[in-house]
Amino acid sequence: MKEIDTNIDGFKLRFAEEKDTRLILDFIKELALYENLLDEVVATEDILRQSLFVKKAAEVVIGEYHKEPVGFALFFHNFSTFLGRPGLYLEDLYIKPEMRNKGFGKIMLSFLAKLAIDRNCGRLEWWCLDWNEPSIKFYKKLGAVPMDEWTTFRVTGDELYSLAEKFYQ
């Protein structure tokens, strides 16, 4: 497991390995609790293991402070038809509450920006809940621009199956 040094003493990054599956699930549940969405978490260790380490549908970077895990970023490649290049989509960035305001989140986002450039991606994107004012201020301070003119649409659960059935009708 290769550690990536940062400019914060004692804070290192590393790409997650299969043995981190439980830790990743714990971070997901902590984030969901913070966002009042814990009841929506259906991921299990087996689901994550298959998705992340067998199918390689996404990647995870773990942030460790003095060798203790304090946060994670889960991301994957998407594609921009307008740019004709891939992008990185940050699904989740989470730093434990007691470890916030130490620069860890900024370092993790900076790392993802560098990774996007290294992989010849045209952009780095993510969503943020409208009520999460501390995160919105943080992101804007880093130069991120909210995409207010776009509306996110989602189809899940029964609606997803219903839409898929229309293919055969």
34 catalytic residue (yes or no): no
pLDDT tens, residue by residue, 122-134:
999 999 999 999 9
Cα 151-72-96 angle, rounded to 5 deg? 100
| Whether this model's pTM surpasses 0.85 | yes
pLDDT tens, residue by residue, 37-87:
999 999 999 999 999 999 999 999 999 999 999 999 999 999 999 999 999
SS3 for 160? helix
Annotated catalytic residue within 65, 89, 94, 139: 139
Residues forming a β-bridge with 87: 78
Cα 128-133-135 angle, rounded to 5 deg? 55
